[in-house]
DNA sequence: TTGTAGGCGTTATCAA
DNA sequence: TTGATAACGCCTACAA
């Protein structure tokens, strides 16, 4: 049988309460303290968390719900979350799920079942309004990344997708491009509409023509970018391609290179995200960097403030600014 | 106050015990069953897991300890683990940690504290023998990936690193290469010694000369591969490079391409792992694919068998075979 | 500073 | 089938 607080008490010749107090940092007699430490050591005692949580109604754990746990650009987000939680005495527990069988809202159960003190949803997929409303009704704090489905009174963190693409268009314009193609993202991602809107808005404000043949959609995979580029190449006249994420930008570059084109001599290609590999492909990819780590920190701080019922800014949706990273996949057109 | 089983009982005009039985799938009177369902619905009742776990001494959860949660090639491992756990009524909970502040063995606490029923360690870093022995002494089952630090009576799953590299050497030999350079991995990874041993063994058995200037070390990053390749280029005469992982292979390719070399015309480059991006770089990378998903399944099955105390094969270290994937970064030398 | 006693929300035993 | 009742291991008044 695994030892309990009672066994420790007996061994240390004191009572359960005293041991419990010691375990919770409440000062006890120096002499008994030593005896308790010795007993814990000898018995290899570990507190039973389930019992503790049952009586405390608190876990000191935050559930992080991740739709794709190995998504490389979630890494700095998770790092940012972890830092803030750590500094505040909370630990992070990660959950992920099989998209076909479960839904994000299934994890609200963790809150009701008192397995965690709060939840952070890390996903950039588009959400249903009903789901987000359900999250808002949860008995403990919930913070989201990405799409809030128009529900403004739930805490959300996202990057400013619109202005990120606007920056790219302006940059390409600045170095001389006037004919810019665009590879849009999939409809099931919340950011897609904002990025596309950024393209349209910037092109219009610069007075650049938008040829419908120069706009294509990809599913944001390498393959998707490859296929989109192939289609784009059926029409001519553009000198630059904005892929709405780095992965499809990579696919697009591969397609171009396979056809014998040189980047950026024949075409400039730019992406969005700044994934790790972006600087390691050849040529290195010009892109827009998302402030992932900062986003993670923001989300965690949001959540902790909710838990502590701190007075908060009334604006519950925070959009962080992305940063233009210029590398070698873009240059003046000839 | 959140409702308890007692509230449900009162509302449904029955006893706690009956509600508990219903919740656990034990048949109850049709009439009371309906009343219970109705009460649960009305009260929005959710069982308190901490109370349940306290009395059951069981969580139906498996802790997955991942050293780098966003490591892309862990994805299929986690998928494989998830599938098997799911099919057996267990769920996976992921934990990760800050390498500088914590150690793998810190998570054994989850077992002692009864937060999970078993642990799977996903990491390919080299381990201390003392740590692995501590894992072996844990009160609940533990399964490892990668290095077992020579402790043979703990369940371990790994890829056959040795034979993977041997296959690469033989393949290059087959297509005509006789002068093969090697970019070794970092010492803190368990696989490094097996892969290096595979290179040495295969070269010797084929009677190929090993020029010490043709062997370099990288930290398995893109940058590491890049730097190693630069160094390799200071000596001449080799026609092919084996990088001991894909990431460094990518870095090596970038270096070669920057210097104006064409792959595979001037040099063949091959890697190890078959990460997603391997087929999307240009030219697509010849590599050795690890059976990650199968490894995940194997580990999970190992663990469940331990939990169920099933009679098991006495061999506790299982090495799965990698598969040679031939793409375009390798060809006959001229 | 310490110990006694009660309760947290479940499940499990046992008699009805 | 059902309903008391006693655990499970811990924390926390309260009284000493």
pLDDT, mean of residues B247-275? 96
Task: Please check whether residues B172 and B251 belong to one and the same domain.
Answer: yes
- The residue from A56, A76, A94 where one domain ends is A56
pLDDT tens-digit readout, A204-251: 999 999 999 999 999 999 999 999 999 999 999 999 999 999 999 999
Model confidence at B313: pLDDT above 80 = no
Residue A280 has pLDDT above 90, yes or no: no
* pTM as predicted: 0.89
Q: How much is the average pLDDT of A52-65?
A: 96
B58 strand C contact, CB < 7 Å: no
Give the pLDDT of residue B261: 97
**B74: which residues sit within 8 A by CB, 6+ positions away?**
A70, B66, B68, B122, B292
The answer as to whether A189 is a domain residue is: yes
CATH of the domain at A196: 3.40.50.2300
CB proximity list for A220: less than 8 A, separation 6 or greater = A185, A186, A189, A244, A245, A247, A248
Hey, what are B125's tokens? 């870093």
- Within 25-54 of A, beta carbons closer than 8 Å to B belong to 44, 46-51, 53-54
Which of B252, B272, B290 is the C-terminal boundary of a domain?
Answer: B290
Beta strand ranges found along A123-265 (DSSP E)? 142-145, 155-159, 180-184, 215-217, 240-243
Distance CA A249, CA A165 (A): 14
Query: Does residue B171 lie in a domain region?
Result: yes
**Is A79 part of any domain?**
yes
Q: How many CB atoms lie within 10 A of CB B208?
A: 16
Is residue B102 domain-resident?
yes
Residues A106 and A13 in one domain: no
Indicate whether A277 and A299 sit together in one domain. no
Is B315's pLDDT higher than 90?
Answer: no
Same domain for A31 and A108: no
A332 assigned to some structural domain: no
Residues of B in contact with A226 (CB under 8 A): 280
Asked whether the predicted pLDDT for residue B193 surpasses 90, the reply is: yes
Q: Which residue has the higher pLDDT, B191 or B309?
A: B191
**Claim to verify: residue A230 and residue A85 sit in the same structural domain:** no
In this predicted structure, what is the pLDDT of residue B109? Answer: 96
* Pairing state between β B323-325 and B287-289: antiparallel
Tell me what pLDDT residue A262 has. 96
Domain contains A176: yes
Same-domain pairing of A240 and A92: no
Same domain for A183 and A232, yes or no, is yes
Tokens of B14: 């029955």
**Does residue B327 lie within any of the structural domains?**
no
Q: Which of residues 241-300 of A touch B (CB under 8 A)?
A: 250-251, 253-254, 257-258, 276-277, 280-282
Q: Residue A6 CB: number of other CB atoms within 10 A?
A: 11
Res. B276: pLDDT tops 90: no
Beta-carbon separation of B50 and A53 below 8 A: yes
Percent of chain A with pLDDT over 70: 100
Where in the sequence is the domain holding A31, given as residue range(s)? 5-56
A35 torsion bin: left (phi>0), alpha (psi -120 to 50), beta (else): alpha
Judge whether residue B131 has pLDDT over 80: yes
d(CA B296, nearest CA chain A) in Å = 14
* Nearest CB to B54; choose among A48, A277, A282: A48
Q: Which of B150, B113, B155 is nearest to B307 (CA)?
A: B155
Q: Do the bridges between strand B118-122 and strand A118-122 make them parallel or antiparallel, or are there none, so unpaired?
A: unpaired
Asked whether A121 and A143 are in contact (CB, 8 A), the reply is yes
The residue ranking higher by pLDDT, B149 or A100, is B149
Residue A114 binned pLDDT confidence (cut-offs 50, 70, 90):
very high
Domain endpoint, select from B39, B56, B73: B56
Return d(Cα A251, Cα B136) in angstroms, integer. Answer: 46
Residue B329 lies in a domain: no
Over residues B151-174, the pLDDT tens digits come to: 999 999 999 999 999 999 999 999
Same domain, A230 and A174: yes
Q: Looking at residue A42, which CATH number applies to its domain?
A: 1.10.260.40
Q: What is the pLDDT of residue B222?
A: 94
The minimum CA-CA distance between A213 and chain B, rounded to whole Å, is: 25
Written as six digits, the tokens of A122 are 């890390």
Whether A242 and A197 map to the same domain: the answer is yes
Distance measured from the CA of protein residue B208 to the C1' of nucleotide D6, in angstroms: 76
Residue-level pLDDT at B294: 96
- Reported as a single tens digit per residue, the pLDDT across B61-98 is 999 999 988 777 788 999 999 999 999 999 999 999 88
Asked if residue A187 has pLDDT above 90, the reply is yes
**Count of domains observed in chain A:** 3
CA atoms within a 13 Å half-sphere pointing along the CA-CB vector of A126: 12
Are A10 and A109 members of one domain? no
């Amino acid at each position: 049988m695994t030892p309990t607080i009672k066994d420790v008490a007996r061994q240390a010749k004191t009572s359960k309460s005293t041991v419990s107090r010691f375990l919770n940092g409440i000062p006890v007699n120096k002499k008994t303290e030593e005896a308790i430490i010795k007993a814990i050591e000898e018995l290899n005692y570990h507190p039973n968390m389930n019992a503790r949580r049952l009586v405390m109604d608190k876990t000191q754990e935050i559930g992080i719900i991740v739709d794709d746990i190995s998504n490389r650009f979630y890494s700095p987000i998770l790092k940012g979350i972890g830092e803030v939680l750590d500094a505040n005495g909370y630990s992070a527990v990660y959950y992920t799920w099989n998209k076909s069988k479960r839904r994000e809202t299934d994890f609200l159960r963790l809150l009701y079942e008192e397995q965690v003190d709060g939840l952070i949803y890390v996903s950039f997929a588009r959400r249903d309004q009903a789901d987000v409303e359900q999250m808002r009704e949860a008995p403990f704090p919930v913070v989201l990344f990405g799409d809030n489905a128009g529900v403004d009174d739930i805490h959300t963190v996202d990057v400013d997708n619109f202005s990120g693409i606007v920056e790219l268009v302006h940059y390409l314009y600045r170095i001389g491009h006037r004919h810019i193609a665009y590879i849009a993202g999939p409809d099931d991602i919340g950011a897609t509409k904002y990025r596309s809107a950024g393209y349209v808005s910037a092109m219009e404000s610069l007075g650049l023509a938008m040829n419908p043949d120069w706009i294509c959609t990809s599913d944001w995979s390498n393959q998707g970018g490859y296929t989109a580029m192939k289609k784009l190449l059926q029409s001519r006249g553009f000198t630059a391609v904005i892929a709405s994420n780095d992965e499809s930008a990579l696919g697009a570059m591969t397609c171009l290179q396979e056809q014998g084109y040189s980047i950026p001599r024949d075409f400039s290609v730019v992406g969005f995200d700044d994934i790790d590999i972006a600087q390691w492909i050849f040529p290195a990819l010009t892109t827009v960097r998302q402030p992932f780590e900062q986003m993670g920190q923001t989300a965690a701080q949001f959540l902790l403030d909710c838990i502590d019922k701190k007075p908060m800014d009334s604006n519950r949706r925070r959009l962080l600014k992305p940063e233009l990273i210029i590398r070698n996949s873009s240059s003046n057109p000839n």
